Amino acid sequence: LVTAGPTYEPIDPVRFIGNHSSGKMGIALARELQQRGADVTLVLGPVRQEVNPEGLTLKKVTTAAEMYEAALAAFEEADLAIMAAAVADYSPLQKATEKIKKKEENLAIELGKTKDILKSLGGQKRTGQVLVGFALETNNEKENALDKLARKNADLIVLNSMNDPGAGFGHDTNKITIFDKSGQEFAFGTRHKNEVAKDIVDTIIRLYYA
Ligand code: CTP
């Protein structure tokens, strides 16, 4: 199971809260796993890139709530789950049924927390299921990544730093460090996301399936 891309949280029929995730990292991971012979379910948020559904189960979703439902359903039968999606942490509590008109000088939109998919899967993980999360941090990177690993009961966390040029959102390249629960750390140089996907899959296989 791989989640990828952003989520869009509707404000009214024509507006949403989203983010700049291109989905490239998660799509590259799904392809890499597919090429290694895995049966892959890709739960994909709204992205520009066309994904050829041949050879994988593609579930297209829009909101964090839809991604949660699709990921939970697919996790049941999954051996490995990689949560590469940039899921909205908050979503508007009310979706206006009609387009919001420009009347008031200020407009407040109340947001509520979305369900944390990675944390939910971590909570119901069975022995033998491997769970991998991503972290995008701007400060105290290692500390925050390790905290996320523990808090969400993941087996591995892939850190991409916003401080590295050529890494993260929208770029074709990424620079990652993988942390595991025992405190091991695997650092890689800036590489194309297809190569980064290979590094991640190689690391998972070496640690859990070799
Ligand atoms: N994630 C998820 N569901 C959410 C939010 C995040 O599955 N609703 C997953 C992402 O796919 C990614 C990891 O959790 O694998 C990233 O977590 P992040 O949002 O950075 O962590 P938070 O706990 O929200 O911490 P922060 O305060 O840094 O936002």
Q: What is the pLDDT along the chain (210 residues), one digit of tens a residue?
A: 999 999 999 999 999 999 999 999 999 999 999 999 999 999 999 999 999 999 999 999 999 999 999 999 999 999 999 999 999 999 999 999 999 999 999 999 999 999 999 999 999 999 999 999 999 988 999 999 999 999 999 999 999 977 777 776 778 899 999 999 988 999 999 999 999 999 999 999 999 998
Residue 144 is classified by DSSP as H
Q: What count of residues does the chain have?
A: 210
Check the CA dihedral 52-54-55-56 and report its sign: positive
Residue 183 alpha carbon to ligand 1 centre in Å: 20
By alpha-carbon position, which residue is closest to atom 12 of ligand 1?
A: 134
Torsion region of 168: left, alpha or beta (phi above 0 gives left; psi -120 to 50 gives alpha):
left
C-alpha separations of 24 from 63, 117, 163, 192 in Å: 18, 19, 19, 10
CA distance 47 to 67: 14
- Regarding the beta carbon of 118 and ligand 1, being less than 6 Å apart is answered yes
β-bridge pairing 9-12 and 15-17: antiparallel
Q: Is 194 an annotated catalytic residue?
A: no
